[in-house]
Amino acid sequence: MSFKQYQLIELTADINPVIKKGLKGVILEVWADDVFEVEFVKEDATNYEFKGQFTFTVSAASIKLA
């Protein structure tokens, strides 16, 4: 499957204790065919954050279209 910038995705695996399977996010950058920079936003319109990081590098194996 080919993912593109600004597509909505859903995590299929946990990334860390905060960014977990089932969270929905948006692809901000496509670094390679299978590597993406993703942002996850809470219902109150603030970003999820883990250890000062607000965007996360995610592999295609860990996401699906939302």
How confident is the model at residue 35, as a pLDDT? 97
The three state secondary structure string of the chain is: CCCCCCCEEEECCCCCCCCCCCCEEEEEEEEECCEEEEEEECCCCCECCECCECEEEEEHHHEEEC
- Domain boundary assignment for the chain: 8-65
How confident is the model at residue 63, as a pLDDT? 98
Q: What is the tens place of the pLDDT at every residue in 14-45? A: 999 999 999 999 999 999 999 999 999 999 99
Angle at 58 between CA 25 and CA 47, to 5 degrees: 35
> Which pTM value belongs to this model?
0.93
What is the fold of 8-65?
A: SH3 type barrels. (2.30.30)
Question: How many angstroms separate the CA atoms of 39 and 48, rounded?
Answer: 8
Task: Look over the chain and give the mean of its residue pLDDT values, rounded to a whole number.
Answer: 96
The torsion angles phi and psi of 60, rounded to 5 degrees, stand at: -60, -30
How confident is the model at residue 1, as a pLDDT? 73
pLDDT tier at 59, thresholds 50, 70, 90:
very high
